Amino acid sequence: MKLLTGIHNWHSKKRWLGGLILVSFALFIVGCAETGSMYTQPYNRPLSASNFFPDGRSARNLVPGTVPQTTQNANDPALTGLDSNGNFITTFPVPVTAALVSRGEERFGIYCKVCHGQDAHGDGTAVTFGFPKPPDLLGSDVKAFPDGKIFNIISHGQGKMLSYGYRVKPPDRWAIISYLRAMQLTGGHLTQPLTAAQLQQLGK
Ligand code: HEC
């Protein structure tokens, strides 16, 4: 009798386990189904084409008057490169430190060097592949550009140069400009850190 009860218990346990496995499997299959209405939702990949809008683009322009979501004042010269009269600022809106210049050197290497070249003379690798040669950034023209104008060129591009605004955020734009100014001061890429006096000169 004891033996029989044992067998009976064993059987019901097995059934229970079997049920559990079946239910989990069913959930697994349903979870994987690619046809579920949650799985296939209409969406656009960034900058993909779309026939929904007449201009064929899925991306929309910002609504006029849109301001960046930040606690900083949207008119802060550090974000616009402009003074309160709308003119390009001629001085750095952030302190020029050795750390800023070295950050700029790194970012210039990532985003600008490929076209402008290591010493910013306009002889980057892209040019050897046929990309239009950019002007010399160490020449007298760009030396005379207000800082805010260079900020504006990085933000919005100019002529054949694309905008780097969405890849290079405002603090890094100033870092790159400080590095450009450092190169203009020393005549090319830095082989040693700027002296305190040189840093002070850039920050003026
Ligand atoms: C894909 C190549 C390319 C890259 C990358 C690039 N530029 Fe340019 N840049 C150009 C070209 C080409 C011009 C000339 C544009 C024109 O006026 O037609 C130019 C112009 C400029 C000018 C204006 C020079 C003048 O005399 O008018 C500045 C300043 C400048 N670039 C800075 C930068 C900085 C800083 C970066 C990195 C954030 C950068 N560029 C990245 C190609 C590039």
Per-residue confidence (pLDDT) for residue 12, from 0 to 100: 65
Q: Is the C-beta atom of 159 inside 6 A of ligand 1?
A: yes
Q: Is the pLDDT reported for residue 105 higher than 60?
A: yes
182 lines ligand 1 (CB under 6 A): no
Domains in the chain: boundaries: 77-203
134 CA to centre of ligand 1 in angstroms: 6
Structure tokens at 204: 């003026």
Mean pLDDT of 14-40: 73
Residue 69 has pLDDT above 90, yes or no: no
What is the mean pLDDT of the segment spanning 106-116?
98
- Measured from the CA of 150, which atom of ligand 1 is nearest? 29
pLDDT computed for residue 48 by the predictor: 92
The residue length of the chain stands at 204
Distance of alpha carbon 162 from alpha carbon 172, whole angstroms: 17
Does the structure show a pLDDT above 80 at 203? yes
SS3 163: coil
Tokens of 6: 């044992």
Q: Which atom of ligand 1 is nearest to the CA of 168?
A: 38
- Strand, coil or helix: 37: coil
189 vs 180: CA distance, rounded Å: 9
Nearest protein CA to atom 18 of ligand 1, as residue: 159
Least confident of 66-80, 83-97, 118-132, 184-198: 66-80
pLDDT band at 96 (very low <50, low <70, confident <90, very high): very high
Would the CB of 161 count as within 6 Å of ligand 1?
A: yes
Give yes or no for residue 26 having a pLDDT over 70. yes
Q: Is 150 in the pocket of ligand 1 (CB under 6 A)?
A: yes
The rounded mean pLDDT for the chain is 89
The pLDDT of residue 156 is 96
Residue-wise pLDDT for 143-192, tens only, equals 999 999 999 999 999 999 999 999 999 999 999 999 999 999 999 999 99
Mutate to test the pocket of ligand 1, among 152, 158, 167, 181 (most ligand atoms within 8 A of CB): 158
| Mean predicted confidence (pLDDT) in 19-42 | 73
Q: What is the residue with the minimal CA distance to atom 32 of ligand 1?
A: 154
Instruction: Say how far apart CA 111 and CA 74 lie, in whole Å.
Output: 25
Which CATH superfamily includes the segment(s) 77-203? Answer: Cytochrome c-like domain (1.10.760.10)
Does the pLDDT of residue 4 top 60, yes or no? no
Query: Of all residues in the chain, what percent are helix, strand and coil, respectively (each to 5)?
Result: 50, 5, 50
Confidence of residue 20 (pLDDT cuts 50, 70, 90): confident
Q: Is 79 in the pocket of ligand 1 (CB under 6 A)?
A: no
| Contact assessment for residue 116 and residue 139, using Cβ atoms and an 8 Å cutoff | no
Residue nearest to atom 17 of ligand 1 (CA): 159
CA nearest ligand 1 atom 2, residue:
115
Contacts of 198 (CB under 8 A, 6+ apart): 182, 185, 186
158 lines ligand 1 (CB under 6 A): yes
Q: What are phi and psi of 3, to 5 degrees?
A: -60, -45
Residue 124 zone, left/alpha/beta (φ > 0; ψ -120 to 50; rest) = beta
pLDDT at 2: 55
